[in-house]
């Protein structure tokens, strides 16, 4: 999801990039008419806290 929003390289690991990617993912879920989504966090990092 990060590459879709234009974040590449070291900028992908920033909390801001995580927030933008999460917002994009939420928008996709809402557009599909769903009310719930399950989130799986693969590894620790700065973006993890911002995403949650």
CB-based contact 42:28 (threshold 8 Å): no
Q: For residue 22, what are the contacts with CB-CB under 8 A and spacing of at least 6?
A: 50, 51
pLDDT at 35: 87
| Lookup: tokens for 6 | 């234009």
| Pairwise pLDDT comparison (1 vs 10), residue with the higher score | 10
- Condensed to tens digits (0 to 9), the pLDDT of residues 3-45 reads 666 777 777 778 888 788 888 888 999 999 998 888 777 777 7
Q: For residue 30, what are the contacts with CB-CB under 8 A and spacing of at least 6?
A: none
């Amino acid at each position: 999801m990060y590459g879709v929003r234009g974040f590449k390289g070291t900028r992908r690991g920033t909390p801001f990039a995580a927030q933008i990617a999460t917002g994009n993912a939420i928008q996709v879920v809402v557009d599909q008419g769903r009310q719930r989504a399950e989130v799986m966090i693969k590894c620790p990092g700065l973006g993890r806290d911002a995403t949650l």
